[in-house]
Chain A
């Protein structure tokens, strides 16, 4: 078993009259995973979507990190639970922003963008299910 450590910090000196400084960390239960950089070609559901997690690729739990690398915030990517429906929106991520989400291991997640060939970086970490291949 490998150790994957994730930390998240949220900080602001001026969003409230008292500073926000939140720092959390977790060690993920994982023996597999990778970071991938790819282009999202599709701009409409079911046409050139990018599969970022295939159903049952992981066992028990899986964690998705995804960042929209586009420099323009208005160029969004949307992540949806494809197994449920084309409208099962999970997250809409602006350029430069990221999300860290525990995904349902038995669902497939896909991504489309508002601009063709939007560059993203993503990774899924968890316990590998050898019965499922990504091919």
Chain B
């Protein structure tokens, strides 16, 4: 059984009067199970020479629906004005915008494609899916 952990920290010394310092770790397990997620795409990068619209980054058809997959996506741009818009499903439900350097980590049920729009030419998106059969 594979063991994969995800750790997030959020910290700020000047957002509030009391310093913010949060750290939490989760072990990524299969749906309704204590067994770890055991398949992964590995850390991948895709380069887009042209601006994209509703381009599938992660295809639901590649994953079993209704499971406890996890997805990481990062906009590797260093420009604050270059964004990747992340969308879910055929209706392109907007999740939000990843500006240069931003990333996200979400549970993924494998029921809808994850699509992206990119704001500019020559952008690279990094992603990782950890999943189960």
Contact = CB atoms under 8 A, between A and B. Distances in A.
Tell me what chain B mostly uses at the interface: helix, strand, loop, or mixed.
strand
Contacts of B3: 12-15
Contact of A4 (B2, B15, B80): B15
Interface in B1-36: 2-16, 20, 22, 24, 26-29, 31-32, 34, 36
B60 interface: no
A32 interface: yes
14 contacts: A8-B6, A10-B72, A12-B36, A12-B130, A15-B3, A73-B34, A89-B109, A98-B26, A98-B105, A101-B106, A102-B95, A102-B97, A104-B95, A104-B96
Interface in A52-76: 61-63, 65, 67, 73-74
B96 A100 contact: no
A51 interface: no
A26 B61 CA distance: 31
B72 A22 contact: yes
Given A84-B91, A98-B26, 17 more contacts: A8-B6, A12-B3, A12-B36, A14-B3, A35-B22, A63-B102, A73-B34, A88-B93, A90-B106, A98-B6, A99-B106, A100-B105, A101-B95, A102-B97, A104-B95, A105-B96, A125-B10
A111 to B, nearest CB: 13
Interface string A1-44: 01111111111111110001010101111111111000000000
A91 B40 contact: no
B72 A7 contact: no
A102 to B, nearest CB: 3
Interface residues of A, number: 57
B42 A16 contact: yes
Nearest to A30: B15
A104 B95 CA distance: 6
Contacts of B102: 26, 28, 61, 63, 102
Given A8-B105, A101-B104, A15 B72 contact: no
Nearest to B13: A3
A115 interface: no
B10 A5 contact: yes
